[in-house]
Every structure is written in structure tokens, then in C-alpha cells.
Structure 1
Amino acid sequence: MSERVVNPTGRGFLLLDSHPAGCFATVARMRAEAGGDAAGPGKGPVALVVGSSAGYGLAATIVGLARHGIRGVGIGFERPAGRRTATAGWYRTIATASMVAEAGGDFTFVNGDAFAEATKAEVLDLIAERFGGVDHLVYSVAAPRRTDPATGVTHQSVIKPLGAAHRTRSMEFDADGTAALREVIAEPASEAEAEATVRVMGGDDWALWIGALAERGLVNDGFRTVALSYIGSALTAAIYRDGSIGAAKAHLEATAAGLTDRLAPWSGQAFTSVNGVAVTQASTAIPGLALYVGLLRAVLGDRMQSPVEQSVQLWEQLTGARPLDLDEQGRIRLDRWELDPAVQAAVTERWEAVTSATIGEHADVEWFRTQFRSLYGFDVPDVDYTEPVETDLPWPT
């Protein structure tokens, strides 16, 4: 037994421990938000979710289970408890697996590096044995590095602008929880760094998963796959969409057309989904994004769409329950609420006016802080953080 009181210690937007009960409660709240009453065990399509333990991948998994009764496999890459607690994704996966078990569903979770050939082999063997094929693949991976299986070279991604340095402001929290603005100067990525980021965050691995499924005969007729992407505001473009990560997202989007051609024998289709912004463990690492999200929330309030709300729309489009909402480039658009010109004008006005002294007037600081801490299972309603909790919990089998 490893029961103890878990406190939110860390620095910046990185906490060192996660709270199991808070992570369980987070999954329960997401399940309630998803709504729906799936047809029952064994009734839904077979889905593979690559990146099922956090962010939009977690939301897509929960919505798929709750509303469409998906069967299949989710992949996360999480750390068990040791000197520290397990990662939040470890606990969230346990909670999601419990949800599956209670519903009598058939969805398995694999803990492994999605980039690794060994993980692909394990997952494909499992799919072949249990399901015989896949109807949908949702690809939602944000990673700092990737080893190319063809070359053995490990590439490291960077979050940098391209061409020139960029000066921006970021919202941070002092030790006492007070929000402040910090000026950030991001140096430009080198050509090698930009290419490495594309190799990590672009479409290479997505294409390898599709190729591996096809080679094993595991692509079902009518197969649809989607990789999650982001465009975002002009306020964050220099560091994101026009930066090294944006180059990787452009590569991801370009990959979709080639995959659709490859899937033609099964009448298959590949899309990218441009999601709206959210507070995630990946997004908090991007300079300027915390301030932007806080300002956006102040403008939109409850009209800001959560990852669960967007995932409801995504699954309805993937399954044909509603028409595809595509832009001129063939991308599924789930971010129209964020990029509405009136919304962006209001956010820009606040961005230009905000100072450290007035940040509480222009941005929804408390909402952002709660969202960030809830990524680790803290500040979740109805959880008693004074009580000891068991932290050494096994991965679901």
C-alpha cells in the first residue's frame, strides 16, 4: 500500500505529482458531459485511438465509448508510481477502463510508445485476435521526441518560430498563485530543428500506422481515420501555426490526401480535424498560449467548447450521423467558434490592453488556473484533498 496525501508541487505549468481521486473524478465528469447511451457491448464500431490518455485523445475515447459503444484499443505512454505518483494519464486510463468494465464494453488499453515498432506489433496482434479489423483510427499524439524506425535516428521537436525571433507575453503564476505577465523572446528554429519537429509531430507515424493496418489486412471497408490538428489565432501564429509546430501540422494535413489514396481499395478516407484551443498538458508548453486562452475564455465564457463537446461533433461526422464540416483544404473544422471574427476582435482588444496589473480584468485567470491544475487531478470539485489516497495502482488489464 502506498497511501499518502498528495499535494500539487511543481514549477510553472509542470506539476510533479498527480492525484488519483482527482483524475478519476475528471473522467467521471467527462463521461457525464459526453452524455449518450451507447447501444451496448459488442454493438459499436472498432476504433484505435493513438494517444488515448490525455487531452483530445482522452475526450475522443470517452465520447466514442459513451455515445457510440466503440470497441477496440487505446494507446497511452504513461509512467507508473515510484518515488512520485503515477502520471495523470495513468490514473485517467484506469478510470476509463473501469467505465468500460461497468458498461460491459470491449475496449483495451496498451501502455507503450506509439512510435515504436514493438508497440505497433503488440496492438495489431491484439486487434487481429479480438476484432479482426478496424473501422476508425483517431491519431492524437503530442510528443517531445521520436525515433524513426527506418533510420534509428531520434528526432527532438522544438517550439520555436521560423525565420526570426519572436517576442510575446505569457501568463504565468507566482508561488502564491498570483497571475503575472512575463515577456518571452523565442529564438528561431534552425533548419535542422524545424525538420526534426516535422519528423516528430508531422504525418510520418500516422502513415506508418495506416500502412501497418493495411499490410495486416486489418482495414475494414468504409474505414475513416482522423489526425487532430490546430490552427489558432493570429495572436499566436508566429510561435505556433507559422512556427516549427505549425510546419509539422501542415505536414500532418498534407499526409491526409496521400492516405486517402492509399485507402481507396477499402473506400476509406483520411482527414485532419482542426480543433479549437483547450488547456492541455501539451498546449501549456507553448509561449503565449496561456494568456490567449485566458483572454478567450473571458470573451466566450461557457460558449467556449470543451474537448468533449468537440469530440461529440467529431464522432458524429466520422460515423456519418451528421455531414462532414470541411473547409477548402478538406479539413474537418471544429474551431469555427474560436476563430469567429467577432470573437477574435474582442480577444485582440484585450490582448493589446492587458498588463500585469489588469490581467484579472481581461483574462479569466481563475478558470485557467483550475483547468491547468485539473490536468493533474487537482482543484476538481467534490474531491477531499486532505485524505490519503492509494497512489500505486496497476495498469488495467
Structure 2
Amino acid sequence: MSERVLIPRNRGFLFLDSHPAGCARLVADMWRACPDSAGVPEGDGPVALVIGSSAGYGLAATVAGLKRAGIRGIAVSFEKAPTERRTATAGWYRTAATADIARAAGRDLVFLNGDAFSDAMKEQVADLIERRFGGRLDYLVYSVAAPRRTDPDTGATYASVLRPIGEANRTKTLVFDDRGVPEVREVETAPAGGDDVEQTVAVMGGADWERWVDHLAGRGLLGEGFTTVALSYIGSPLTAAIYRQGTIGAAKAHLEATARALDERLGTTVGGRAVTSVNGAAVTQSSTAIPGIALYTGLLRGVLGEALVPPVHQLAALWDQLTGGAPLAVDDEGRVRLDTWELTPEVQASVAERWEAATTDTIAALADLDWFQAEVRRLYGFSVPGIDYTAPVATDVPWPATGS
């Protein structure tokens, strides 16, 4: 097994390698931070499928589901294995650590690595539910952020883009140079053109979520009361032009429309539910790619400090609602709102004031930059407390075995 000392090397917010021990410790810390629940069943828990389980809110959904609801079932993600030149992706190591936690908790959770958009993966999951989990699925959590998707019916490949709709958007954004020195810049993003909106909706909208539900329903695998949720984000008016009102926002609107259609159908067929869950801001590998989001998140942390709600706490609250531990409370659009702490008028006014004042010279006093930079590094297993980064670490970590 290969062992070496890993030094963080990055291009902006993207790191070339990931640290296995740091990723494992991060997952263990999430597990410890997730509140216990008296309602976790002693024996077999509900059968759940988490699609996009290795990062961000999908990872939080998996960890919180294990601890808060005692789930068993299947977790799907798409990660790269280690090679001679590179470590595995961070999600690979996080998945291995999550599998260890599930095993220690006595929960039968199978981890599959592959293209969640493909019908082959849908069929593999359906076979597993049928053979291993009694032919009944109770919950499906959909948390997929991807740059492209191939339609299994047509073979056409669609690519998502981050663009405003209608006119160019000029916004502030936060970058760091090679020494980690922050700079506030203004960047302009050209508007969507051609079929950019349709392409982004095809990737990030509800088409694949609906296809998953249809495939599993066609196999007769949806249990009575089956509930499915797609994880989403609305965000602040400060980032609306590039996010909620942009191409990604069009995809989110399609996701919400899909939820309403699925909710009506599932209510009729299995007495079930379909909702979207609007989560609060967090530093994720997806969010750091969006202009303005890094600046906004750093300023939000500067306003809220420790009151910023981490993803695993949000997802613990979601599982409580999904499993009946708390009422399933939705807004007029049928969305569970886990972002209310972020979008209060007082918080948004404070962030907006700091946003207006933010320059390269002032940003250190307005945003929690130490926290933000550490959060970015922790996405790849670096800057995790308790890890000796001077010690060699084994990088050839195997993918979790599926067992019998």
C-alpha cells in the first residue's frame, strides 16, 4: 500500500490531491456532531437510497440518516480511485470512512461507485433493493451536482453552465493568490445564449430524479408511504442574478416543478410524498465554482459566526421530518425550508452592508477568511484538527466491499 507525505497543492479552490486521514477524520467529526436520536430503531431501520452521497449535503444526508434515522440501504456516488501519480478523490476517502461508521453502527449500507444518470446504475440499485433489502424502498434522497449528463434514451450529452439569463452580470467575488492572500475582484459573466438554459435544466433539473422514481416504481420497489426529497438551494438576493435567476435557478425551478408532479403521483399510487429541501449556505466543492458565492459565504460566517448551521445539523432536522419525528413542514411551493436561519431580514441586511463595503483592503475585517479557507482545504482532507500532516499516509484505500 502506497504511503507518502501529502502537501496541499491547489489551483484556486481546486486541489490536486486529497488526504485520506483528513477525509476520514472529517466524516468522524460529522458523525460526532450529528445529534443522537431516541427514535433510532434497534433492529433493521428504514431502507433508503442516497444519490450523490460522497460530498456536501449528500454526505451530510448519509451521515445524518445513519445516526438520526438508522437507515440501511444504498449510497451512490461517482469518484476516482487512487493512481500511481494521484490520490483518490476526496469523496472516495469520505465514502470509505462513512462505510466504516455504518459498519460500526450495525447498519447495512452498500456503497456503489458509478454514473447515477445511467440506466445501468438504476438497474443495479433496483436489483440490490430486491435481493438484499426485501424489495421495499422507503426513502430516496437526491443530491446530484454534475457538469454534464448523458440521456439514456437519446444518447445526447448535455452540459450545465453558470450564466445569468437576459443580460451580463457583474458581481464581486473572492479569490486567493498562491500565498493565500485574499482579493476582492469584480467579474463579469456573459448571459446565457443558444440552448444554455435547456442544457443546464437537462443536467441539473428534475429529469433524472423522476427517472429514478419511475424506474424503481416500474420494478414495484416503492414501499407504502415512500418519500423522496431532492436537495436544493435558493440563496441570497446578493447572488440571485448568477444563481436563482440564472441558468442554475432555471434548473432548480424545474426540480421543484418535478417535485410537485411526483408528489401528486406518489400520493395516489403509494400514499407517498415528494418534496424539495432548501438548505442553507455551506462551503462545498460545487458552491466554490459559482461567482460571488465564496465572498457571500465568508461574509455570512462573519455575521453569524458559530450560529451558521452546519449541513449535518440541517440534514438531521430533515430526517426528523421525513421519518415523522417532526411534522413535515413545507412552504407554499411544497419545499422544506432549512435555510430560514440564513434568510432572515436582519442577517441579510448585515451581509448586504458588508458586501457593499467589501474591498481587498477591508475584506479581512468583514468576512471570516480563516474559517472559509480552512473549510475549502477540509473539502480535500487538509486543515482537519487532529491530523499529523508531516506523517506519511496510506493513499491506496479500497472502495467499500458490497458484501453478501
Residues 147 and 155 in structure 1, CA contact (< 8 A), matched pair in contact too:
yes
Match of 2:5, as an amino acid?
Answer: V
The equivalences for 1:1-397 within 5 A come to 1-36=1-36, 39=40, 42-82=43-83, 83-131=85-133, 132-263=135-266, 264-397=268-401
> 1: CA distance between counterparts of 2:103 and 2:155?
39
* C-alpha displacement of 1:17: 0.3
SS of equivalent to 1:350: helix
> 1: CA distance between counterparts of 2:244 and 2:88?
32
* C-alpha displacement of 1:268: 0.8
* C-alpha displacement of 1:104: 1.7
> Kindly tell me: are residues 325 and 261 of structure 1, through their superposed partners in 2, closer, same or farther at Cα, counting changes over 3 Å?
closer
> 2: CA distance between counterparts of 1:20 and 1:363?
29
> 1: CA distance between counterparts of 2:89 and 2:371?
23
* C-alpha displacement of 1:257: 1.2
Residues 35 and 313 in structure 2, CA contact (< 8 A), matched pair in contact too:
no
Q: Deviations 1:328-377 (Å, cap 9, x if unpaired)?
A: 11110000001000100000000001110010001110100001110000
* C-alpha displacement of 1:41: 6.2
> 1: CA distance between counterparts of 2:261 and 2:317?
25
* C-alpha displacement of 1:9: 0.4
Residues 36 and 67 in structure 2, CA contact (< 8 A), matched pair in contact too:
yes
> 2: CA distance between counterparts of 1:305 and 1:43?
30
> 1: CA distance between counterparts of 2:55 and 2:264?
30
Match of 1:308, as an amino acid?
Answer: V
SS of equivalent to 1:235: helix
* C-alpha displacement of 1:40: 5.5
> 2: CA distance between counterparts of 1:172 and 1:125?
46
Q: Give unmatched runs, 5+ long, in structure 1.
A: none
Residues 259 and 274 in structure 2, CA contact (< 8 A), matched pair in contact too:
yes
> 2: CA distance between counterparts of 1:231 and 1:55?
16
> 1: CA distance between counterparts of 2:129 and 2:5?
39
Residues 45 and 69 in structure 1, CA contact (< 8 A), matched pair in contact too:
yes
Q: Report the TM-score when normalising by structure 1.
A: 0.99
> 1: CA distance between counterparts of 2:194 and 2:43?
49
SS of equivalent to 1:339: coil
> 2: CA distance between counterparts of 1:71 and 1:28?
18
Match of 1:84, as an amino acid?
Answer: R
* C-alpha displacement of 1:48: 0.2
- Matched residues, percent identical? 61
Match of 2:116, as an amino acid?
Answer: A
SS of equivalent to 1:338: coil
SS of equivalent to 1:317: helix
Residues 42 and 71 in structure 1, CA contact (< 8 A), matched pair in contact too:
no
Aligned length: 397
CA RMSD of aligned residues (A): 1.0
Match of 2:95, as an amino acid?
Answer: T
> 2: CA distance between counterparts of 1:314 and 1:191?
38
